[in-house]
Every structure is written in structure tokens, then in C-alpha cells.
A and B are shown apart, each in its own frame.
Chain A
Amino acid sequence: DAMVIQNPRYQVTQFGKPVTLSCSQTLNHNVMYWYQQKSSQAPKLLFHYYDKDFNNEADTPDNFQSRRPNTSFCFLDIRSPGLGDAAMYLCATSATSGLYNEQFFGPGTRLTVL
């Protein structure tokens, strides 16, 4: 089945130690998104790639960066994680060829910062 895969499902890092989360997709969608979701809150969009074009949300901290080496893969890099960055990180994809923005989500990576 076509899907969005996130690895790892659980990630533990230390305060200030860089961490990378990965996302891959078999849907061949041209848009990929990264969301941060804290407990009991809605997902918050951090940034997205429209094909190779990177689009950062205005309030996304500089500590968060992303790479998309090809259509299938996208990475979220947190350069110096703080305790406040502990959250679920969700990757999603969509195809702009459609008439509406149906986004397909991965299972998420839960990040713990010690």
C-alpha cells in the first residue's frame, strides 16, 4: 500500500544534541509537510516543500531546518533541541494536482528531550 513512513517512531535525545527525523513516501506526492504537535493540541505547520521549493512558516524557530533530497524523502533537523521541543512530529504529503488539499499523514515520531 502507498503510504507515508516515519522513522524512528520514538526518539530520545539530550538537551542541545542535534537530532534528525526522517520521512519517506511511496505516494509520489509533490508536497511534503512537517508539523509539530504538542499534547492535546492541533498540529502546527513548521514548513513544507512544494516540489523542491522550501516554504518556512513565519513563526518556525531557526532551530528547525529541513532537507528534501528527492521526491520520496524529507528530513527534519533540530539543531539544538530544548525541553520545549519535546512533541510529536508529523510528516504529511499531498498532491497539488488534485482539486483539494487532502493530506496523508505518517504515524509520527515522538521526540523526548532529556
Chain B
Amino acid sequence: GDSVTQMEGPVTLSEEAFLTINCTYTATGYPSLFWYVQYPGEGLQLLLKATKADDKGSNKGFEATYRKETTSFHLEKGSVQVSDSAVYFCALSPPPWEGSNYKLTFGKGTLLTVNP
């Protein structure tokens, strides 16, 4: 079945440091890939997405590129802020023609703490 493996946390960085959170996946075909962010005590918010190979998703300074050859979707940000402290989830969804498009498979999440 489909699976997502994320870098184990927690990750602690100083403000303005470079961030990478690794994500690799196992799936058949061409899934859509997502990064969700969860701030303390809140629900999940979609941070960015990519729906086909070589697509780059970007939002709020975060980027991730869909790499089919390495089955990866690593999250990066050039300069993190204290307000980026949250849990980050990598997720995938099968393509519509596979008939189970409605389900998300999540990684275990990575807690990021950014110190001033």
C-alpha cells in the first residue's frame, strides 16, 4: 500500500536558518503530494502541493519539488521565522483514475521549533 516516510523530529533551528524536512513516498502511479502544517492547538492547513513530476509547490517562502526518480518531496525554506514553529506533515493522494482519490496518506509529522 501507499506510505509516506518523513524525517524524524523534533527539529530545532535558530531564526533565519535554512530548513529542510525530508519526505519520501511509496505509491503506484502518479500520486499528488502535499505538505500540511499544524500550529499548536489548531487543525491542519495546506501549505503547498504538487500534482505531477517536477512540479514545484511554493507558499509563504516554503518550497518542495515533486521528484519522481527519487520518490521524494522535501520541504525547504531559506530563512525560518519563530512563527514557523509548528508540526509539518507530508501526505499523498492517489491519482483520480485509481478510484481512491479521496484518501490522504500522512507521514508521522515533524515538529519544528524556531528559536529567536
**Interface size range on B against A:** 20 to 34
Say yes or no: A42 contacts B109, CB within 8 Å.
Answer: yes
* A92 nearest CB across to chain B (Å): 8
Instruction: List residues of chain B with CB within 8 A of the CB of A70.
Output: none
Say yes or no: A101 contacts B32, CB within 8 Å.
Answer: yes
CB-contact partner of A101 in B44, B103, B111, under 8 A: B103
Instruction: List residues of chain B with CB within 8 A of the CB of A90.
Output: 43-44
> Can you report 21 A-B residue pairs in the complex whose CB atoms are below 8 A from each other?
A4-B43, A41-B108, A42-B89, A42-B107, A42-B108, A45-B103, A45-B104, A48-B102, A48-B103, A50-B102, A96-B101, A99-B32, A99-B51, A99-B96, A100-B101, A101-B103, A102-B49, A104-B46, A107-B43, A108-B42, A108-B43
Q: Which residues of A contact B (CB under 8 A)?
A: 4, 6, 31, 40-43, 45, 48, 50, 90, 92, 94, 96, 99-108, 110
**In the complex, given contacts A43-B89, A90-B43, A102-B34, what are 8 additional A-B residue pairs having Cβ atoms less than 8 angstroms apart?**
A4-B43, A45-B104, A92-B43, A94-B102, A101-B101, A105-B45, A106-B43, A108-B42
